[in-house]
Structures are given as C-alpha cells and as structure tokens.
Amino acid sequence: MKIESSLIVNGKRVDGRKPEEIREVRMKVGLIENANGSAMVSFGKTTALAAVYGPREIYPKHLQDPEKGILRVRYMMLPFSVDERKSPGMDRRSIELSKIIRTALEPAIFLEEFPRVGIDIFVDILQADGSTRVTSINASSLALASAGVPMKDLVCACSIGKVDNVLVLDINGIEDNNCQADLSFAMMPGKDKITLIQMDGLMSKEELMKAIELGRKTCLKIYEMQKDALRRKYEEVAKE
Ligand code: UDP
C-alpha cells in the first residue's frame, strides 16, 4: 500500500516503534515431526515456518555432486498470508527469494561432508508484514540446527530501511512499500562473517555503513534469541 503522509511522526514509526526498535520476536523449534528439523519465527505479524529434510539421497540423480552435498530452498508465501489473496504456487518473487535465502545459509553448512546428498528446506510464510526473507533465514537456521546438520555457526538476519531519511530496523509491510531504501542483512555472528547484503533503493556510503553496523548489532541480539530457542527445545527433550 502506497501512502503519501510521513512514516515517522515525532520520532515514532507507523506502528509506534522507535527507529532502532525491532518488533516482538518469537521463536519455536521442533513443530513438524516428519521433518528432520523445523522452526517457526515471527517478527511482529511476519511469521515463517521452516522445515528441513535431510541430508538425504537426492533425486533426480543427475543433480548429485560427488564433491559435496547440495542445499535446496523453496520459499513460498501462502495465499492467506497477506490481505490481498496471494495466488498459490511459485512465482518469480518466490524463486528469487528462495535463491537469496539459500545464498545466505550455504556458507554456514559443512556441505563438503555430504557428497551426493541433499538438504531440502521448505519455508512457508504464514503471515506477511514485511521482512519475510530475513525471517525465513532465521527460521531456516534454527531448523537446520535442530536437524543436527553440521554448521559453522547459526545464521542470523534482519532488515534495515531508510524511511523519511531515517534508518529504521526491521521494516514492516507499509514501510517496505514506501521506503527510500531497504536492506536485507545476514551474518554468522560467532564468526563475524556477513553472508548476505541485498539492497533496493539508494543510501549514501555513510548510511550504508551505519545500516551494516545496525544489522551487525541486531544480529548479535538475534543470535542470543536463536540459541535460547534451541536451549528451550533441548531442555524440553531432556525432561521427556
Ligand atoms: N507482499 C504482499 N504481496 C506479495 C508480495 C509481498 O503483500 O505478493 C508484502 C509482504 O508484506 C512482504 C512485503 O510486501 O513482506 C515486502 O515484500 P518483499 O518482496 O520486499 O520481500 P520481504 O521484505 O518480505 O523480504
């Protein structure tokens, strides 16, 4: 939805947040029994459910790589996830986002330990209100870890936007549609390695450097949340 009025009034955003405030974050690990690992992550009204299958034999066989395993990601926004019904199935956007999510996650996985096999991640967006790709990356990272896939580190992600000339964290749907620029950022916080920077729109060099720093700080917080969600799951399992 395009709006003409200001998106920041008296230092507050359309949903009442301060520029550097993220929405309420919820994380839950282990929701799909048939999957090897799964997780659901919400940033406010954006919710992603990720399920990991594998490492497992890959079909069609010609896709097998004798040197390493392959990661496949399928991102999809469900028809009821947005106000205006989204037609089901893959479109250009979901193909692009699937690739971006895979690119952000791949550097964290020891794929060389799994020649000829594949790891499949299916991410479904149950509710969308901006920043679905970064929410998907967080959910997929948790799902991979809960599947026991050997990883160098968790991958944490967040979005940063430029709205009314102000840098804001964790953009919602209205901000996404009306911002001057938006940047998706992912990193392995324990390794201090960035795995994704993707930007639409324009920022000055100074703004870009500040946005990256904001992303880095936020990912460190998300890292603690991801570790906490995994800890909670294993405490539950230990009690059973
Ligand atoms: N959106 C929508 N319908 C669509 C695609 C997107 O309503 O078919 C909304 C949704 O809230 C999404 C936002 O637009 O989160 C921004 O989408 P974008 O493609 O920029 O990716 P995202 O920010 O979700 O990673």
Region of poorest pLDDT, from 3-12, 88-97, 119-128, 158-167: 3-12
* Contact present, 213 and 10 (Cβ < 8 Å): no
CA distance 118 to 123: 16
Q: Tell whether the model's pLDDT for residue 238 goes beyond 90.
A: no
Q: What is the predicted pLDDT for the residue at 60?
A: 87
Q: What's the structural domain count of the chain?
A: 1
pLDDT tens string 33-63 = 999 999 999 999 999 999 999 999 998 899 9
- The CATH number of residue 130's host domain is 3.30.230.70
Closest residue by CA, ligand 1 atom 12 = 130
Tokens in use for 140? 């997929």
Q: Is 132 in the pocket of ligand 1 (CB under 6 A)?
A: yes
Q: What is the predicted pLDDT for the residue at 34?
A: 96
Write out 30-69 in H/E/C secondary structure.
CCCCCCCEEEEEEECCEEEEEEEEEEEECCCHHHCCCCCC
Flag whether 2 is in a domain. Answer: no
Query: Whole domain around residue 224: which residue ranges?
Result: 25-239
Tokens in use for 75? 């991102």
Closest residue by CA, ligand 1 atom 23 = 131
Ligand 1 centroid – CA 71 distance (Å): 24
Q: Residue 82 CA: which ligand 1 atom is closest? A: 7
CA distance 51 to 66: 25
Q: Is 176 in the pocket of ligand 1 (CB under 6 A)?
A: yes
pLDDT tens string 116-151 = 999 999 999 999 999 999 999 999 999 999 999 999
* Contact present, 120 and 207 (Cβ < 8 Å): no
Q: Is 173 in the pocket of ligand 1 (CB under 6 A)?
A: yes
Flag whether 54 is in a domain. Answer: yes
Q: What is the predicted pLDDT for the residue at 42?
A: 98
Q: Tell whether the model's pLDDT for residue 4 goes beyond 80.
A: no
Flag whether 86 is in a domain. Answer: yes
Flag whether 12 is in a domain. Answer: no
Flag whether 9 is in a domain. Answer: no
Flag whether 15 is in a domain. Answer: no
Flag whether 17 is in a domain. Answer: no
